[in-house]
Amino acid sequence: METPFFCAVGTAGSVKGVTPSELRELGADVLLANTYHLFLRPGHEVVRHLGGLHRFMAWDGPLITDSGGFQVFSLGWGLEHGVGKQMGMFPGEAEARKTRGQAARLVRVDDDGATFTSHIDGSRQRLTPELSIGIQEALGADIILAFDEPTSPLHDAAYTATAMLRTHRWARRCLEARTRDDQALYGIVQGGALQELRRASATAIGAMAFEGVAIGGSLGKSKHDMFDVIDWTTPHIPEAWPRHLLGIGEPEDLLACVEHGIDQFDCVAPTRLGRHGVVYTADGKVSLTRPELRDSSAPIEPDCGCYTCSTGFSRGYLRHLFAANELLGYTLTSLHNLFFMHRLMQRIRAAVREDRLSALRDEFLARYGVAYATDGKTLQAAGGQ
């Protein structure tokens, strides 16, 4: 795999609405699936029985599974803090008000592991570092992640430190629990948006026998905090380790985070936005559900090489598919958005090779309509439309 790269997310072993051959065609080379979801349904033993995750989902390219930690705990924060089903990466007050009043105590963590309630059937379930590794070995992805306890921006410093130290102890147990030698195991750095903790966590994880690192947990309350977290972390990680920033991001994030040393990304945004009729274009995001697009014969982007644009599907047709709740609409917009992200990553890789990444960033962002200030961390509106 050439870095930096972007992983399309196949949460439950499927990139929603897109077939493996379509993924290949649009340039996807690595997919990420979620341990939490596959553990609960259909169960990792079923996947093992059916030949492992590659065969199960008919994807013969590289696969990554996360450890389940983020889903287990973010579901818990949701109820603890009165946030929705799963909290966004940068939760705002509005999000925090959404579902107050639901039962708390969804996740109980102890030093051995975490007990949680399945979002599918309400049953009580338990994950430990050893079980997470066992599940990920049964699934058989090429890159697997250590089981961790992420924290949210709403946790205080004392709890964030407690969870970080527990994450370090679990990291050692994950290393001891592995029995396969054909999977790369990444450690996860925690420590919230606190400089001392991130440095301590990167130093501790960086000293263990992992093959790479993922930056997880709270990335603070803004993009500026996110870049601080990256900058506090990367100097303490072995130079040879690939660095994965979990759950990020949007086009503007990829460009800037690569400059800050990130090699791998995963995000559900291209397919999730696509299912809501929102598409990426060089001039920013466009909602295809707007009534004024009814008569538009233009493709999403005339110079885009994706299946949707090169076939000539018009904005007016796509708007119609969304108005009529036609499944093809979700597929066509997902194909375009995933192509857009992978095309952008190709351009980023070329720019890295030719040492002109900041020029690409400025050129892309000016037209996309956002810009990072000269500190490289603060996002602002650009001159573009």
Q: Check 156, 266, 303, 362 and give the catalytic one.
A: 266
Token pair of 350 as six digits: 């070329």
Q: Which amino acid is at 20?
A: P
Stretch that binds Zn ion, among 116-124, 301-309, 315-323, 365-373 (CB under 5 A): 301-309
Q: Name the residue among 152, 148, 220 with its Cα closest to residue 187.
A: 148
CA gap 133, 12 in Å, rounded:
18
CB of 280 to Zn ion, least distance (A): 9
CB of 341 to Zn ion, least distance (A): 11
Q: Return all residues near 113 (Cβ < 8 A) that are at least 6 apart.
A: 126, 127, 128, 129, 131, 147
Sites for Zn ion among residues 57-86 (CB under 5 A): none
Torsion angles phi and psi, residue 131, rounded to 5: -70, -40
Quick one: 223 or 336, whose CB is closer to Zn ion?
A: 336
Q: Check binding of 306 to Zn ion (CB under 5 A).
A: yes
Q: How many residues bind Zn ion (CB under 5 A)?
A: 6
Stated as kind and residue range, the H or E segment containing 115 is strand 114-117
CB of 276 to Zn ion, least distance (A): 17
Cis peptide upstream of residue 277 (ω within 30 degrees of 0): no
CB of 43 to Zn ion, least distance (A): 37
Quick one: 38 or 304, whose CB is closer to Zn ion?
A: 304
CB of 307 to Zn ion, least distance (A): 8
The two most distant CA atoms of the chain are separated, in Å, by: 61
CB of 91 to Zn ion, least distance (A): 31
Q: Name the residue among 257, 372, 359 with its Cα closest to residue 4.
A: 257
Quick one: 8 or 47, whose CB is closer to Zn ion?
A: 8
Quick one: 89 or 309, whose CB is closer to Zn ion?
A: 309
- Catalytic site includes residue 66: yes
Stretch that binds Zn ion, among 130-138, 183-191, 205-213, 295-303 (CB under 5 A): 295-303
CA-to-CA dists, residue 355 to 201, 339, 344, 349, 359, angstroms: 31, 24, 16, 10, 9
Per-residue binder mask for Zn ion (CB under 5 A), 230-259, x = binder: ------------------------------
Q: Which amino acid is at 121?
A: D
Sites for Zn ion among residues 323-352 (CB under 5 A): 336
- Torsion sign over Cα 360, 363, 366, 367: negative
Question: Quick one: which of 163, 193, 194, 304 contacts Zn ion (CB under 5 A)?
Answer: 304
Between strands 379-381 and 370-372, the pairing is antiparallel
Stretch that binds Zn ion, among 91-99, 192-200, 221-229, 307-315 (CB under 5 A): 307-315
Stretch that binds Zn ion, among 41-49, 115-123, 179-187, 304-312 (CB under 5 A): 304-312
In angstroms, the first-to-last Cα distance of the chain is: 35
Question: Quick one: which of 309, 338, 351, 379 contacts Zn ion (CB under 5 A)?
Answer: 309
Quick one: 198 or 336, whose CB is closer to Zn ion?
A: 336
Quick one: 155 or 336, whose CB is closer to Zn ion?
A: 336
Residue reference for tokens 């903790």: 197
- Catalytic site includes residue 266: yes
Q: Check binding of 223 to Zn ion (CB under 5 A).
A: no
Q: Name the residue among 196, 115, 105 with its Cα closest to residue 149.
A: 115
Residue 116 DSSP SS3? strand
CA gap 338, 32 in Å, rounded:
14
Q: Return all residues near 62 (Cβ < 8 A) that are at least 6 apart.
A: 1, 29, 30, 31, 142, 143
Stretch that binds Zn ion, among 86-94, 126-134, 154-162, 303-311 (CB under 5 A): 303-311
Q: Check 66, 228, 253, 263 and give the catalytic one.
A: 66
Between strands 264-266 and 5-9, the pairing is parallel
Q: Check binding of 194 to Zn ion (CB under 5 A).
A: no
Token pair of 27 as six digits: 């340039």
Quick one: 79 or 318, whose CB is closer to Zn ion?
A: 318
Per-residue binder mask for Zn ion (CB under 5 A), 115-134, x = binder: --------------------
Quick one: 166 or 342, whose CB is closer to Zn ion?
A: 342
Torsion angles phi and psi, residue 265, rounded to 5: -135, 155
Q: For binding to Zn ion (CB under 5 A), which residues are involved?
A: 300, 304, 306, 308-309, 336
Active site residues: 66, 266
